[in-house]
């Protein structure tokens, strides 16, 4: 079912049309086999990069798309509706570029960003550790200054694109201070001592490689540190707000794909002489699914528009991530129910959607952590800001 969208410009409408075309022609024919065989689709990311879809929220002067977040997230949604693993990968790549785009020097940006945003270099993000997931300040990976370089030692868990990426955005401890002792580095994948463990065997998103990364005395030039020493945790936390919106958009796309498949089946499958969508009990399930998708989309775009307006949006990003991923879990589960016994087989993709939705309630901060972020923001209170929206919009 086509999604009616309100976007700020005709350029954005054209961009979404291009994304749909690429998703249907380049992604859709590959997704089933790649997920079944657990194959990482590296060439797909090059295709997306060359089409200008990997660097959309970043500046055009460095090869980005110069698009507002509300447009970027809708592009992510269109990709994820066809292939969730790739949607997650695009979001993670964007997050891996965030530190350089926001805290890098002009020289660093000019030297590194064009290939990163153009898809020639694929990024990964290393924050979590085996003992420090929801509490990143407890990390133990160290970066010790040695002349004009740093030597990194430690482990980073749950790294999306681990072993496949061309560069890693890494948070490492440069002093003992809990929150101000962490710094941020861009580590080339071919650095001596950087080793990827075998990929994790996951329930879903099997086309997205996830691995533990080992830093065994990895030497990194000092000019690949982003920002000052001790700025790493603020860089990480600022990026996580944007990353949560990315995952919210992916969850909306996944839920939309599940709704579309369930709706198509309900219109074709007949019982008692009529399509099953004409039975009220099932029609109401589909109605609830549609309401859940639309609700998640609205919340995600609201948070994105706050971000685009330069207003605080951290609480809304957590709400969007919470609502979108919980709703995706419900919608994909209901999609399996709509298809009945067929939904439980691998002959139809809805069982895969259900497996893929689960992890979205976990990564980029578990939904329990989102509730903690939201409740703390409520306790602090604060003024409500208002921004005037642009007058011109286009339907896509």
pLDDT at 386 over 80: no
pTM of structure: 0.94
How is domain 233-379 classified at the CATH fold level? Butyryl-CoA Dehydrogenase, subunit A; domain 3 (1.20.140)
* Per-domain residue ranges of the chain: 10-118, 123-230, 233-379
> What's the DSSP call for residue 26?
I
For Cα atoms 363, 58, 313, give the angle at the middle one, nearest 5 degrees.
Answer: 55
* pLDDT recorded at residue 252: 98
Q: How confident is the model at residue 270 (pLDDT cuts 50, 70, 90)?
A: confident
pLDDT at 308 over 90: yes
Q: Are 254 and 84 in contact (CB under 8 A)?
A: yes
CA terminus-to-terminus distance, the chain: 14
Residue 178 token pair: 């809990």
Q: Which residues are catalytic?
A: 364
Across the strands, what pairs with 111?
none
Q: How confident is the model at residue 31 (pLDDT cuts 50, 70, 90)?
A: very high
Work out the average pLDDT over 91-110. 92
Work out the average pLDDT over 155-166. 96
pLDDT tens figures, 315-336: 999 999 999 999 999 999 999 9
Q: Which is nearest to 329 in space by CA: 258, 260, 277, 266?
A: 258
Work out the average pLDDT over 151-178. 95
pLDDT, mean over the chain: 93
Grouping H, G, I as helix, E, B as strand and the rest as coil, residue 54 is coil
* pLDDT recorded at residue 291: 98
**For the structural domain made of 10-118, what CATH number should be given?**
1.10.540.10
Q: How confident is the model at residue 382 (pLDDT cuts 50, 70, 90)?
A: low
Q: How confident is the model at residue 395 (pLDDT cuts 50, 70, 90)?
A: low
pLDDT tens figures, 204-235: 999 999 999 999 999 999 999 999 999 999 99
Work out the average pLDDT over 66-86. 98
Neighbouring residues of 196: CB distance < 8 A, sequence distance ≥ 6: 159, 162, 163, 211, 212, 213, 214
pLDDT at 393 over 70: no
| C-alpha atoms less than 13 angstroms from C-alpha of 356 in its C-beta half-sphere | 33
CATH superfamily of 123-230: Butyryl-CoA Dehydrogenase, subunit A, domain 2 (2.40.110.10)
pLDDT at 1 over 80: no
Q: How confident is the model at residue 134 (pLDDT cuts 50, 70, 90)?
A: confident
pLDDT at 385 over 80: no
Backbone φ and ψ of 167, nearest 5°: -150, 155
pLDDT at 384 over 80: no
pLDDT at 392 over 50: no
Across the strands, what pairs with 171?
184
Work out the average pLDDT over 132-147. 88
For Cα atoms 157, 158, 160, give the angle at the middle one, nearest 5 degrees.
Answer: 130
pLDDT tens figures, 252-267: 999 999 999 999 999 9
Distant-in-sequence contacts of 14-19, Cβ < 8 A, 24+ apart: 15/56, 15/65, 15/67, 15/71, 15/75, 16/71, 16/74, 16/75, 16/78, 16/396, 17/396, 18/51, 18/53, 19/53, 19/75, 19/78, 19/79
Q: How confident is the model at residue 391 (pLDDT cuts 50, 70, 90)?
A: very low
């Amino acid at each position: 079912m086509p999604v009616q969208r309100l976007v700020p410009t005709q350029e954005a409408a054209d961009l979404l049309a291009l994304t749909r075309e690429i998703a249907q022609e380049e992604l859709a024919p590959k997704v089933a086999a790649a997920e079944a065989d657990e194959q990482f689709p590296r060439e797909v990311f090059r295709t997306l990069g060359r089409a200008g879809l990997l660097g959309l929220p970043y500046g055009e002067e460095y090869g980005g798309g110069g698009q507002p977040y509300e447009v970027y997230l809708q592009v992510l949604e269109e990709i994820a509706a066809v292939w969730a693993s790739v949607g997650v990968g695009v979001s993670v790549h964007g997050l891996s570029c965030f530190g350089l785009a926001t805290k890098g020097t002009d020289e660093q940006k000019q030297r590194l960003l064009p290939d990163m945003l153009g898809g020639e270099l694929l990024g990964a993000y290393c924050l979590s550790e085996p003992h420090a997931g929801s509490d990143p300040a407890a990390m133990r990976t160290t970066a010790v200054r040695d002349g004009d370089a740093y030597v990194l030692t430690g482990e980073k868990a749950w790294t999306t694109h681990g072993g496949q990426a061309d560069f890693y955005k890494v948070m490492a401890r440069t002093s003992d201070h809990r929150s101000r002792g962490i710094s941020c580095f861009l580590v080339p994948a071919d650095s001596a001592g950087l080793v990827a463990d075998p990929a994790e065997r996951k329930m879903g998103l099997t086309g997205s490689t996830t691995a533990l990364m080992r830093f065994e005395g990895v030497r990194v030039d000092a000019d690949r540190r982003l920002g000052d020493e001790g700025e790493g945790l603020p860089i990480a936390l600022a990026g996580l707000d944007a990353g949560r919106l990315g995952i919210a958009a992916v969850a909306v796309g996944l839920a939309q794909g599940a709704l579309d498949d369930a709706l198509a089946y309900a219109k074709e499958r007949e019982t008692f002489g009529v399509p099953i969508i004409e039975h009220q009990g099932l029609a109401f399930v589909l109605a609830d699914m549609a309401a859940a998708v639309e609700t998640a989309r609205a919340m995600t775009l609201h948070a994105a528009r706050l971000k685009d307006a330069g207003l605080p949006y951290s609480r809304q990003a957590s709400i969007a991530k919470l609502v979108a991923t919980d709703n995706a879990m419900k919608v994909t589960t209901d999609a399996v129910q709509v298809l009945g016994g067929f939904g439980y087989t691998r002959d139809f993709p809805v069982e895969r959607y259900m497996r893929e939705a689960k992890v979205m309630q976990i990564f980029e901060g578990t939904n329990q952590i989102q509730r903690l972020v939201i409740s703390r923001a409520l306790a602090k209170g604060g003024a409500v800001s208002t921004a005037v929206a642009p007058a011109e919009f286009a339907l896509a």
